[in-house]
């Protein structure tokens, strides 16, 4: 093996090692999602689901941290590759990357979509907390169930009156 072949392997091997590290971060991200879903499922079957709230919050933070780490690492790799496109001698291995056309994606749309999804999750968590509170109150107060039944019957009568 000549010296130039050994040098070219350094740049390429560095890129492969960086991508392998990013791949590991993505696996960690998937593991965080799995933990979040498992914790959420456990909270649905437990009598006291509020004790899982801290775990869900922690899992969510881990997910966003992993997403951030992956995005930053990918941006660094893209920048490094971009700096070496069409230029000889830019890196220590003297590798020149041939240019190709890549279209830029609309990232603002992704940010808006993510914000919308987070708002929806917040609303669901609030509704779930209110539902859990109402079921606990309903279990302690048998008169509340009778009152709800009477209100539902009154709503049915009102709807029937509107159809006539």
Is residue 164 domain-shared with residue 93, that is, in the same domain? no
Query: What is the structure's pLDDT at 3?
Result: 45
pLDDT at residue 11, as a whole number:
84
Residue ranges of the chain with per-residue pLDDT less than 50? 1-8, 159-164
- Whether 2 and 34 map to the same domain: the answer is yes
**Domain count across the chain:** 2
**Which residue range forms the structural domain that includes residue 151?**
112-164
Same-domain check for residues 1 and 78:
yes
Would you tell me how many other CB atoms lie within 10 Å of the CB of residue 33?
15
pLDDT of residue 64: 94
Give the model's pLDDT for residue 111. Answer: 83
Are residues 95 and 117 located together in one domain of the fold? no
Check whether residue 45 and residue 119 sit in a common domain.
no
Residue 17 has a pLDDT of: 94
Whether 107 is in a domain gets the answer no
- Sign for the CA dihedral angle at 82, 85, 88, 92 comes to positive
Q: Are residues 16 and 73 in the same domain?
A: yes
Q: How many CB atoms lie within 10 A of CB 160?
A: 9
């Amino acid at each position: 093996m000549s010296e130039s072949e050994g040098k070219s392997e350094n740049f390429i091997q560095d890129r492969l090692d960086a991508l392998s590290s990013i791949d590991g971060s993505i696996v960690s991200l998937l593991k965080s999602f799995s933990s979040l879903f498992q914790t959420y499922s456990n909270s649905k079957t437990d009598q006291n689901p509020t004790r899982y709230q801290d775990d869900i919050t922690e899992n969510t933070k881990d997910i966003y941290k992993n997403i951030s780490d992956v995005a930053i690492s990918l941006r660094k790799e893209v920048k490094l590759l971009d700096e070496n496109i069409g230029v000889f001698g830019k890196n220590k291995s003297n590798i020149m990357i041939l240019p190709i056309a890549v279209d830029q994606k609309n990232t603002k749309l992704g940010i808006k979509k993510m914000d919308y999804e987070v708002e929806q999750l917040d609303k669901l968590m609030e509704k779930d907390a209110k539902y859990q509170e109402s079921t606990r109150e309903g279990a302690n107060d048998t008169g509340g169930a009778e009152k709800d039944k009477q209100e539902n019957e009154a709503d049915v009568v009102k709807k029937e009156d509107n159809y006539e």
